[in-house]
Every structure is written in structure tokens, then in C-alpha cells.
């Protein structure tokens, strides 16, 4: 497919969906953080650790989204190969951090 409009529409669709997922996750995290503040101290520690891990996961998710958007625009604007390679590595590392924190969720 050589029609750039299809790929641009796909990019925008995934961008919007990704932003909605991060926004929803942040809202849920913020509500959970407020609830943890109301818990008795004996129960708070373990839940607070899980909540902190979820906060880090959301942060890495947002960072990976920003890096991937920068990668798309860098490629479209003809950025130097070193910059594109750095953005690729950054995107892979950010997604790997999201996956790692997501897998540790049950512990």
C-alpha cells in the first residue's frame, strides 16, 4: 500500500486509542491513590507498593507513546539515522519497561 493517507489514518487511530488508554489508566490510578490514603496503615503498605508500580507503568506507557510519536515525525522529516536509531532503542526500552511492570503486577 503506497497511499500515505491510509497509514496516516492508522497512525492517528492508534494514537487516539493509546491516549485514551493512558488517560483512563491515570484516572483509575488517581482514584485508587485517594482510596489508599483512607486505608488503615496496616493494610496500606502492600497496596501502596502495587499502586506505585502501576504509577511507574503508566509513566513508562506515556513516555513510550511520546517516543514513538517522535520517531514517526523524525522519520517523516528525514532526521539523521543516528537519531532514528536512538528513538527506536528508546521506544523498545520503554515498551519493555511497561511489559515488565505489567508482568510483575500479580506479585
Q: For 4-28, give one letter per residue: b (16+ CB within 10 A) or e.
A: eeeeeeeeeeeeeebeeebeebbee
Q: Would you place residue 105 in the very low, low, confident or very high pLDDT band (cuts 50, 70, 90)?
A: low
**By C-alpha distance, which of 46, 69, 10 is closest to 61?**
69
pLDDT at position 107 is 54
- Which residue would you say has higher pLDDT here, 92 or 41? 92
Q: 60-98 pLDDT, tens per residue?
A: 999 999 999 999 899 889 999 999 999 999 999 999 999
User: Does pLDDT of 1 surpass 80?
Assistant: no
Amino acid at each position: 500500500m503506497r497511499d500515505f493517507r491510509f497509514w496516516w489514518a492508522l497512525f492517528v487511530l492508534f494514537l487516539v486509542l493509546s491516549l485514551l488508554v493512558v488517560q483512563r489508566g491515570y484516572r483509575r490510578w488517581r482514584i485508587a491513590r485517594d482510596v489508599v490514603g483512607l486505608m488503615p496503615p496496616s493494610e496500606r503498605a502492600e497496596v501502596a507498593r502495587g499502586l506505585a508500580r502501576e504509577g511507574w507503568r503508566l509513566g513508562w506507557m506515556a513516555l513510550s507513546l511520546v517516543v514513538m510519536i517522535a520517531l514517526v515525525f523524525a522519520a517523516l522529516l528525514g532526521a539523521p539515522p543516528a537519531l532514528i536509531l536512538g528513538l527506536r532503542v528508546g521506544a523498545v526500552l520503554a515498551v519493555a519497561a511497561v511489559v515488565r511492570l505489567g508482568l510483575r503486577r500479580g506479585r
